Amino acid sequence: MAAPPHDVADLGLARAGIRRVDWAERAMPALRRIRERFAERRPLAGVRIAACMHVTAETANAMRTLRAGGAEIALAASNPLSTQDDTAAALVAEYGVSVYARAGMDQASYDRNLAAVLEHPPHVLLDDGCDLVNIVHRERPELLSGLTGGCEQTTTGVIRLRQMEVEGVLKLPMVAVNDTATKRMFDNRYGTGQSTIDGIMRATNAMLAGRTVVVAGFGYCGRGLAERARGMGARVVVTEVDPVKALDAVMQGYTVLPMAQAAAEGDVLVTVTGNRDVIRAEHIAQLKDGAVLANSGHFDVEIDLTALESLSVEVRREVRPQTDEYVLADGRRIVLLAEGRLLNLGAAEGHPAAVMDTSFSVQALTVAWLVDHPLTSGVLDVPDEIDNEVARLELEALGVGIDHLTPEQESYLHSWRV
Ligand SMILES: NC(=O)c1ccc[n+]([C@@H]2O[C@H](COP(=O)([O-])OP(=O)(O)OC[C@H]3O[C@@H](n4cnc5c(N)ncnc54)[C@H](O)[C@@H]3O)[C@@H](O)[C@H]2O)c1
């Protein structure tokens, strides 16, 4: 097969890339099933897709699925730091995808690559941060008439799309594949729960059993993290600002405390609130000698790093990889992981492939749905049938059967006459 147009670091890396993609695929049974179906039915025959996503082994499996459905794909990296050069090479050489991505590329190359994927006028956009939608609306409006719509993969992208919709400038139907029940469950709860624990352990090699882990924020991510920390044998303390979430944590058997008290008890303290200054000077003042601070929320604003710096008389960088030690005036040592940035990406490998299996399965089914249903412009939810179908495929892969409503039950649930 002749390689499609591309700009990758080294096609010679393709063999290593294929091994990586195959390994990820083992943990992506729902996507594999959809790929088989797509290969039979070819729902995307003749559909040109322009994608801007992380060029990783999991994404490669998503691209293979769309290719099996008959799509032609041009893919640019949504983040230069996450590009796997071997995966990029495999996508071009083995899976027939036009990839424009090199690890560590600069801003000019990033912009050039985004322009390149729009060269063959696409029918569908796959965005991860709203960059393609932005370029099409601002710089290439002539492409709008040929576009059926697209999917957006992240919270930040969905927030931008909603703002475009409010301002009346969004000219495409864009499906928020980020906002599904399966994504929240797999990604935020189970994905962040497991990979945050993984990050703590890789960075510190700490024993969690018998220690106190403080989880700040009991939302989707915090709940997952609290469950996993408890599973490791830790005593878990939760801090919250929302009374309903706090009550839920109490009812699940966690100790709930204000951070002012929790700070003095924690051996490991992790923020996952999406908010700023959750651990600040007055809390740092309470910390135990050797306390470990980490954050798994999106931005590095949850721990007040300026306060930590200013309270410290010495900073020992990289006492282990992704581990800095701050020495306070009274000699207490405070350990900061991954510089307060997303711990599971900084000190571990982000989400396992099994987590991306649901997100990309939803995306693949949504693309097929989009090309089959003319839709009006705006930010759209993923249809419930798709969310349910992906959950069904995951259950099937796990070998788990469930009950089905009888016709009598179905009508009972939809009737007001008893
Ligand atoms: N690490 C990852 O891979 C990953 C994955 C998904 C989401 N995230 C990020 O994690 C963060 C949380 O996501 P979520 O889905 O759990 O959100 P969420 O809205 O479900 O939960 C956040 C919780 O934090 C609480 N909170 C807010 N301010 C607080 C404070 N000062 N002290 C204590 N609790 C406070 C809120 O009441 C809420 O219950 C976001 O920044 C999100 O982008 C990270």
Strands 312-320 and 323-328: antiparallel
Task: For ligand 1, say whether the CB of 349 is within 6 Å of any of its atoms.
Answer: no
What is the tens place of the pLDDT at every residue in 115-158? 999 998 999 999 998 999 999 999 999 999 999 999 998 877 89
Taking residues 170-180, what's their average pLDDT?
A: 94
Q: Name the residue with higher pLDDT: 399 or 188.
A: 399
- List the one residue out of 239, 241, 238 whose CA is nearest residue 229: 238
Task: For ligand 1, say whether the CB of 216 is within 6 Å of any of its atoms.
Answer: yes
Contact between 339 and 308 (Cβ < 8 Å): no
- Which atom of ligand 1 lies nearest, measured to the CA of 220? 16
> pTM of the prediction?
0.84
Task: For ligand 1, say whether the CB of 221 is within 6 Å of any of its atoms.
Answer: yes
Q: What share of the chain in percent tops pLDDT 90?
A: 88
- Which atom of ligand 1 lies nearest, measured to the CA of 245? 39
Task: For ligand 1, say whether the CB of 78 is within 6 Å of any of its atoms.
Answer: no
Taking residues 167-177, what's their average pLDDT?
A: 96
What is the tens place of the pLDDT at every residue in 77-126? 987 778 999 999 999 999 999 999 999 889 899 999 999 999 989 999 99
Distance CA 80, CA 337 (A): 23
Taking residues 15-38, what's their average pLDDT?
A: 97
What is the tens place of the pLDDT at every residue in 331-376? 999 999 999 998 998 898 888 999 999 999 999 999 999 999 989 9
Task: For ligand 1, say whether the CB of 245 is within 6 Å of any of its atoms.
Answer: yes
Instruction: Delineate the domains of the chain, giving CATH numbers in brackets.
Output: 11-183+350-398 (3.40.50.1480), 189-346 (3.40.50.720)
Task: For ligand 1, say whether the CB of 188 is within 6 Å of any of its atoms.
Answer: yes
The pLDDT assigned to 186 comes to 85
The pLDDT assigned to 85 comes to 96
The pLDDT assigned to 418 comes to 63
Q: Is the pLDDT of residue 28 over 80?
A: yes
Task: For ligand 1, say whether the CB of 148 is within 6 Å of any of its atoms.
Answer: no
Q: How many Å lie between the centroid of ligand 1 and the Cα of residue 272?
A: 5
Q: What value does the CA radius of gyration of the chain take, rounded to a whole number of Å?
A: 23
Q: Is the pLDDT of residue 400 over 90?
A: yes
Q: Which residues are annotated as a binding site?
A: 56, 128, 154-156, 183, 187-188, 217-224, 240, 275, 296-298, 344, 351
- Which atom of ligand 1 lies nearest, measured to the CA of 188? 6
Q: Whole-number mean pLDDT of the chain? A: 95
Q: How many Å lie between the centroid of ligand 1 and the Cα of residue 399?
A: 32
What is the tens place of the pLDDT at every residue in 259-304? 999 999 999 999 999 899 999 999 999 999 999 999 999 888 999 9
Q: What b-and-e string marks burial along 120-150, b requiring 16 or more CB atoms within 10 Å of the CB?
A: eebbbbbbbbbbbbbbbbeeeeebeeebbbb
- Which atom of ligand 1 lies nearest, measured to the CA of 273? 24
Q: Is the pLDDT of residue 399 over 70?
A: yes
The pLDDT assigned to 324 comes to 97
Contact between 132 and 50 (Cβ < 8 Å): yes
Q: Is the pLDDT of residue 72 over 70?
A: yes
The pLDDT assigned to 183 comes to 86
What is the tens place of the pLDDT at every residue in 40-60? 999 999 999 999 998 999 999
The pLDDT assigned to 209 comes to 98
Q: Which residues are annotated as a binding site for substrate?
A: 56, 128, 183, 187
Q: Is the pLDDT of residue 198 over 70?
A: yes
Q: How many Å lie between the centroid of ligand 1 and the Cα of residue 338?
A: 18
The pLDDT assigned to 375 comes to 92
What is the tens place of the pLDDT at every residue in 203-251? 999 999 999 999 999 999 999 999 999 999 999 999 999 999 999 999 9
- Which atom of ligand 1 lies nearest, measured to the CA of 223? 16
Task: For ligand 1, say whether the CB of 278 is within 6 Å of any of its atoms.
Answer: yes
The pLDDT assigned to 78 comes to 87
Q: How many Å lie between the centroid of ligand 1 and the Cα of residue 235?
A: 21
Q: How many Å lie between the centroid of ligand 1 and the Cα of residue 209?
A: 24
